[in-house]
Amino acid sequence: MAFLHPRPLVGLLYLPRFFNHWRRYVKSAGAEKIGVLDLQPCLGDWTTHTPFDAHYFFQGAWLARRVIAAKVSRHVDIGSSVLTISVLSAQVETLFVDFRPLKVSLPGLTSIAGNILDLSFADDSINSLSCLHVIEHIGLGRYGDPLDPLGSVKAALELQRVVSRDGSLYLSLPVGRERVCFNAHRVHSPITVFRMFPQMKLAEFSYVDDAGQFHENKSVDDAIGLEYGCGMFHFKKL
């Protein structure tokens, strides 16, 4: 039996309601026979609005709009949300690289295994590259990668290495009060992110604030003071 709720202990509070609904349903005219082993309580969907992760929702929309507007013939992504990449690949030929390769067959999408700290691309070879909500994880061991306190910095340098001159890097990561939330992720200030990309200039910055609101094409200064926002950086290679 699965208790499906983003916070399992809170979900337990909804069990009485679930069992009440179950009893009422099976007593309804035309109700199917439901075996106990077939029960699968979904306890987090009684909401007045559709819930969503603001970071992932807005960063996917942000990336797709910019890549499509740039009219590139091919885009490379390193480890971003597979849902975002599946949709993007319907518009742009996409190569997806991940430490844990995606085993799918889909027109417009190619997936290969790769290590963000040692990418199998030549210097200055990729015109359009994205890496969304990824580098903050590197070196924390969460995905089976080696422990390394400098993981995020090393990943940033490798991304810069493979982007072509005047090419685009679309990057997102948590921004706010600097800290390591072991072993989930790191949070960086926007200024620290700049320092991680010395070979790049900022073309555009957008962000999601602590309340989950999206702010498009803003000054980096506007994001100073966040606790846990999502910074979206469009860098161009110098």
Chain segment 177-192, per-residue pLDDT in tens = 999 999 999 999 999 9
Q: Are residue 133 and residue 61 in the same domain, yes or no?
A: yes
Q: Are residue 41 and residue 59 in the same domain, yes or no?
A: no
Q: What is the mean pLDDT of residues 205-225?
A: 97
Q: Are residue 127 and residue 204 in the same domain, yes or no?
A: yes
Range of the domain at 43: 1-51
Smallest Cα–Cα separation from 9: which of 54, 44, 36? 44
Of 33, 51, 69, the residue that ends a domain is 51
Burial class of residue 89 (count of CB atoms within 10 Å of its CB; 0-12, 13-18, 19+): buried
What is the average pLDDT score of the chain? 94
Q: Are residue 5 and residue 88 in the same domain, yes or no?
A: no
CATH code of the domain in which 227 resides: 3.40.50.150
Q: Are residue 127 and residue 185 in the same domain, yes or no?
A: yes
Decide if pLDDT at 3 tops 70: no
Q: Are residue 47 and residue 117 in the same domain, yes or no?
A: no
User: Per-residue DSSP letters for 170-225?
Assistant: EEEEEESS-EEETTTEEEB-HHHHHHT-TTEEEEEEEEE-TTS-EE-S--GGGGTT
Condensed to tens digits (0 to 9), the pLDDT of residues 73-105 reads: 999 999 999 999 999 999 999 999 999 989 999
Of 32, 51, 70, the residue that ends a domain is 51
Give how far the C-alpha of residue 183 lies from the chain's centroid of Cα atoms, to the nearest Å.
16
Condensed to tens digits (0 to 9), the pLDDT of residues 111-140 reads: 999 999 999 999 999 999 999 999 999 999
- Quick one: pLDDT at residue 1? 39
Q: Are residue 198 and residue 177 in the same domain, yes or no?
A: yes
Q: Are residue 47 and residue 108 in the same domain, yes or no?
A: no
- Quick one: pLDDT at residue 7? 60
- Is-contact 158 117, C-beta < 8 A? yes
Q: Are residue 91 and residue 147 in the same domain, yes or no?
A: yes
Q: Which residue has the tokens 């091919």?
A: 74
Decide if pLDDT at 212 tops 90: yes
Q: Are residue 132 and residue 191 in the same domain, yes or no?
A: yes
Decide if pLDDT at 152 tops 70: yes
Q: What percent of the chain has pLDDT over 70?
A: 95
Of 51, 67, 90, the residue that ends a domain is 51
Q: Are residue 98 and residue 37 in the same domain, yes or no?
A: no
Q: In the numeric block, which tokens belong to residue 70? A: 């740039």
What order do you get walking across the sheet with 214-215 strand by strand? 109-113, 93-98, 74-78, 126-132, 163-175, 229-237, 200-208, 214-215
- Quick one: pLDDT at residue 110? 97
For 192, residues 6+ apart whose C-beta sits below 8 A from its C-beta are 178
Count of domains for the chain: 2
Condensed to tens digits (0 to 9), the pLDDT of residues 29-68 reads: 999 999 999 999 888 788 899 989 999 999 999 999 999 9
- Quick one: pLDDT at residue 10? 66
Q: Are residue 31 and residue 63 in the same domain, yes or no?
A: no
Decide if pLDDT at 2 tops 50: no
